[in-house]
């Protein structure tokens, strides 16, 4: 037997197999890319749940390891003209072997118009990094998603700042069998944010920035659209938001809380929470330095709260357990009003 000829045949066979596999994969990639592009084209030039979607063009790339579609000038607008959302471009990316996991990167500033034609509010959203990773279930509906934003800045009108956030991560898990009832969870969320500026809050004692905010929430009842009518309908049907856990560093305070949130008839936050708080003595010092309470009241408060607070066992500040509530447009720590809470839709 000619070993050299056998080796040549073996190599030729391997090359032939690789060529066939490469050709098959190339064909599969183009078929998957064409199918995805048609799907995106239908979604990006169509209608969903009362909204019209438009764009100025779609281009495809990413061969061989990804399918990458760039959508230029996407715009989402409500049929009732109460909302319009447009931005520069978005890139949708997925792997040919997993057509249920999508990565969406968004580019350029966002311009949002909300309200009636007679009373329109304009918002501008800018972020240096904006990426969404989404997974679909077997029925093609959203199953879970992760949103990551950095250097986020939201302004209303020409220059009125609504918020600025150094980094924000949001994780969502959508229930597959949520019913119409307000007692059934439709969405679970976890949130993590750093350096959250809230200039609209009247919050002089603690400042207008949260150094960090982390929370786990469960939405009971479903909200079809984030507009005034849909949110109010969710409220009237008894929809609530369960706060499974929360940790916030706000001024001198380190707050950890659990409880339930809802909205009042003016769409202002309602909350009944139980909070474990560290730094209450330092917060009283801040109130005294601003002249909001007298030195006597601050001293009395520090002594009284110190008596009911639990001393720590690890050398940290003592822990005070108190109700944290939101009502009548205010945020209260026990009887102490911390901040003004505006309506979601003014």
213, pLDDT greater than 90: yes
CA end-to-end span of the chain: 89
Distance CA 130, CA 62 (A): 20
Distance CA 338, CA 341 (A): 10
58, pLDDT greater than 70: yes
Distance CA 87, CA 90 (A): 8
Contact in structure between 46 and 77 (CB atoms under 8 Å): no
Burial class (CB in 10 A: 0-12, 13-18, 19+), 234: buried
18, pLDDT greater than 90: no
pLDDT value of position 258: 94
SS3 284: helix
Find the mean pLDDT for residues 177-200. Answer: 80
Tell me which of 111 and 346 has the higher pLDDT.
Answer: 111
Neighbours of 47 (CB within 10 A): 11
Cβ neighbors of 156 (< 8 A, separation 6 or more) are 121, 122, 123, 162
Find the mean pLDDT for residues 316-323. Answer: 81
pLDDT value of position 270: 92
Distance CA 17, CA 13 (A): 6
Find the mean pLDDT for residues 192-211. Answer: 79
Q: What is the pLDDT of residues 63-101, one digit of tens each?
A: 888 888 888 988 888 777 777 888 889 898 988 888 888
Neighbours of 29 (CB within 10 A): 18
Confidence tier at 44 by pLDDT (50, 70, 90): low
How does DSSP classify residue 9? H
Between the CA of residue 79 and those of 88, 115, 225, what are the distances in Å?
21, 13, 12
SS3 117: coil
pLDDT value of position 165: 92
Q: What is the pLDDT of residues 236-249, one digit of tens each?
A: 988 899 999 999 98
pLDDT value of position 215: 94
pLDDT value of position 214: 94
Confidence tier at 4 by pLDDT (50, 70, 90): low
Whether the ω angle into residue 64 lies within 30 degrees of 0, i.e. cis, is yes
Q: What is the pLDDT of residues 220-231, one digit of tens each?
A: 888 877 778 888
pLDDT value of position 35: 75
């Amino acid at each position: 037997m000619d070993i050299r000829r056998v080796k040549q045949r073996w190599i030729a066979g391997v090359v032939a197999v690789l060529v066939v596999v490469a050709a098959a994969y190339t064909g599969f990639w183009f078929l998957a890319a064409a199918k995805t592009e048609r799907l995106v084209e239908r979604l990006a030039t169509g209608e969903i749940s009362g909204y019209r979607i438009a764009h100025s063009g779609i281009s495809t790339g990413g061969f061989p390891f990804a399918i990458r579609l760039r959508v230029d000038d996407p715009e989402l607008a409500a049929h009732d003209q109460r909302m319009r959302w447009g931005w520069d471009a978005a890139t949708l990316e997925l792997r040919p072997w997993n057509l249920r996991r999508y990565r969406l990167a968004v580019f350029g500033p966002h311009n949002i118009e909300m309200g009636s034609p007679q009373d329109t509010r304009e918002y501008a959203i800018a972020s240096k990094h904006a990426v969404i990773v989404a997974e679909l279930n077997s029925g093609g509906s959203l199953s879970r998603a992760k949103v990551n934003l950095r250097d986020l800045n939201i302004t209303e009108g020409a220059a009125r700042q609504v918020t600025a956030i150094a980094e924000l991560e949001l994780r969502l898990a959508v229930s597959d069998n949520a019913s119409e009832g307000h007692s059934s969870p439709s969405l679970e969320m976890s949130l993590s944010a750093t350096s959250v500026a809230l200039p609209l809050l009247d919050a002089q004692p603690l400042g207008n920035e949260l150094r960090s905010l982390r929370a786990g929430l469960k939405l009971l009842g479903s909200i079809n659209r984030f507009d005034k009518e849909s949110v109010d309908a969710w409220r009237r049907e008894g929809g609530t938001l369960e706060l499974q856990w929360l940790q916030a560093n706000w001024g001198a305070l380190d707050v950890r809380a659990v409880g339930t949130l809802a909205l009042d008839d003016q769409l202002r936050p309602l909350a009944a929470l139980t909070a474990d708080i560290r730094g209450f003595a330092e917060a009283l010092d801040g109130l005294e330095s601003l002249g909001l309470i007298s030195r006597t009241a601050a001293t009395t408060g520090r002594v009284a709260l110190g008596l009911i607070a639990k001393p720590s066992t690890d050398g940290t500040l003592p822990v005070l357990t108190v109700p944290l509530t939101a009502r009548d447009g205010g945020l209260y720590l026990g009887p102490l009003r911390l901040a003004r809470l505006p309506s979601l839709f003014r």
